[in-house]
Each structure stands twice: as structure tokens, then as C-alpha cells.
Amino acid sequence: MNTAIEIFSGTTSIEIIPNPYIKMFNISSLFFFSPILLHNYYLYNNPLSWLMTITSMFTGLTSLNYWLEPTPGLRRIIDNIFVKISTLIFVTIFLKYLSLKYKIILSINLSLIIFCYIFACIRYSYNCSSWIPFHFCVHLISAISMTAILYLYNVENNFKDIKIDLLQ
């Protein structure tokens, strides 16, 4: 039984990710659903909030779909497309609608995401398994940032929050 998912090219095989780590990435893909929980809790009712929520949902779904069986192909391409769309939407909203104090904090998050992504790519290119925790951090920090941008966008623009009392 294989202990890793492999890509076969000719006579050589390249290990993509050991099986125990696949579950970790499946779980980290679920992090992208946190904006949906926030949106449902506060019932934000404005178009950009809905756009951010739907975008994060599709990002989570495509990421989960890819990490269920991480091999090159259409699923990876679709995941990369949604990551780029999501990044474009969230960074645009972050730059256009948030005040400077939040831009500074979220810029640090964005810098950490870029650092972890680049470092993961470098480590992966040297066939080192140390790329895995860095890519996991990309998922985690991205999900935290997406949730923060959704929340701060609504706070900054004084949209009415209809808070649901879960204890009723």
C-alpha cells in the first residue's frame, strides 16, 4: 500500500504529499468556511458581503476538492483559479474599504501569507517535506484574513447587523 500520493511521469515517481498530511489539508480547507459562519451569525445584507461569503465558500470547496486527492490536473487548475479570484476580491475590498489601522494589521497578514507561500514553493522545489507546515499556514492565515476583512468591512461601513441570539 502506498504511503503517499504520487505522480507518475515516465519511469520516475515524485511524492506529492504523505497521506497523514492530506487529512491536515482537508481540515485546513474547511477554514475557508469561517466567513460563512460569520455571515450567517450577523446576517449581513449587502452585496459585497454576499460576494465575499460566496467567494470564500467556493474557495473552500475547490480547495477541499483538490486536497482530497492532490494530483496535477483539472481539479488543481480550478483550485488555483478560485484562489486567484478570491485573492483579487478580498485584497480589493481590503484596500478600497478599510481604514488605515486595519490595512496595517491586514498587510502584516498578507505579508505572512506571501512569505509562507513562497517559502513552501521553494522547499517543495527542493523536494523537502518542510513545505507542508508553511502551506498549512497559508490556508490558516488566509482564512483568518478573509473572515477579518468580511467583519471589518461591515463594521467600517456601518451596515446594520441583525445579531441572532443563539440562546433564545
pLDDT at 15 over 60: no
Tell me the pLDDT tens digit for each residue of 25-48.
777 777 787 777 776 666 667 788
Tell me the pLDDT tens digit for each residue of 112-162.
999 999 999 999 898 888 888 999 999 999 999 998 998 888 888 766 544
- Cross-strand partners of 15: 6
The pTM for the full model equals: 0.76
Position 96 confidence tier, pLDDT thresholds 50, 70, 90:
very high
CB 115 within 8 A of CB 133: no
Average pLDDT, the chain: 80
High-pLDDT (> 90) share of the chain, %: 38
Write the CB contacts of 135 (distance below 8 Å, at least 6 apart in sequence): 25, 116, 117, 120
More confident residue, 20 or 154: 154
pLDDT at 43 (0 to 100): 63
CB 25 within 8 A of CB 67: yes
Neighbour count for residue 36 (Cβ, 10 Å): 17
Write the CB contacts of 167 (distance below 8 Å, at least 6 apart in sequence): none
Average pLDDT over residues 52-70: 89
